[in-house]
Each structure stands twice: as C-alpha cells, then as structure tokens.
Amino acid sequence: MDTEPWDLHFYSDRQTVHMPYDSIERILLVMRTYGVTHVTYNNQESLKPLFSNQAEGFELINEKGLRLYRVRYDLLTNLYNP
C-alpha cells in the first residue's frame, strides 16, 4: 500500500493498493479488504499514530530511502479495529 502505487508497481512489479486519504479506521478497512501485507510511509500526518510506535502491528523492515513496514494483523490493537 502506497500513496503513489503506480510508481511502486512499476519498479517492483508487484500488485499495489492506493492508500486512501481518510481516517485510520478506513485505511485499515481497505488494508484488510485487499489483504495488504506491506505499507510504505512518507510522513503522512494522518498516519503518524500508526508509525510512531503508538500502535502495534507495523514492523519496520526497511528504512533506507523508502520506509517499508510489514503489516502484522495479529498485533493490531483493537483501537483501530474498524
């Protein structure tokens, strides 16, 4: 999942999902609906609670350039359970 999935798809040749500009609850609903396994984070203000260690469930696996997180649905808190 990325805010500009067309670039990510072109360079990685992987299926991508656009990150909606919406609430955290709606973003997580889209993630679950499409089976998102990884998310990029580029300092979007609305997503800071998810990626600033305030919520479990996002494991940083690459921080060189593009920050890439693995989604751990088993660790997501009920606070963000749509």
What is residue 33's three-state secondary structure? helix
Per-residue confidence (pLDDT) for residue 34, from 0 to 100: 92
Tell me the C-alpha distance between 51 and 60, whole Å. 9
50-54, Cβ contacts within 8 angstroms, sequence gap of 24 or more: 50/24, 50/80
Closest CA to 75 of 57, 50, 61, 54: 57
Tell me the C-alpha distance between 20 and 32, whole Å. 13
Per-residue confidence (pLDDT) for residue 28, from 0 to 100: 86
Per-residue confidence (pLDDT) for residue 77, from 0 to 100: 64
| Mean pLDDT (10-residue bins), the chain, 82 residues | 76 81 84 90 74 75 82 73 53
Per-residue confidence (pLDDT) for residue 35, from 0 to 100: 92
Domain spans, the chain: 5-80
Per-residue confidence (pLDDT) for residue 51, from 0 to 100: 72
Amino acid at 22: D
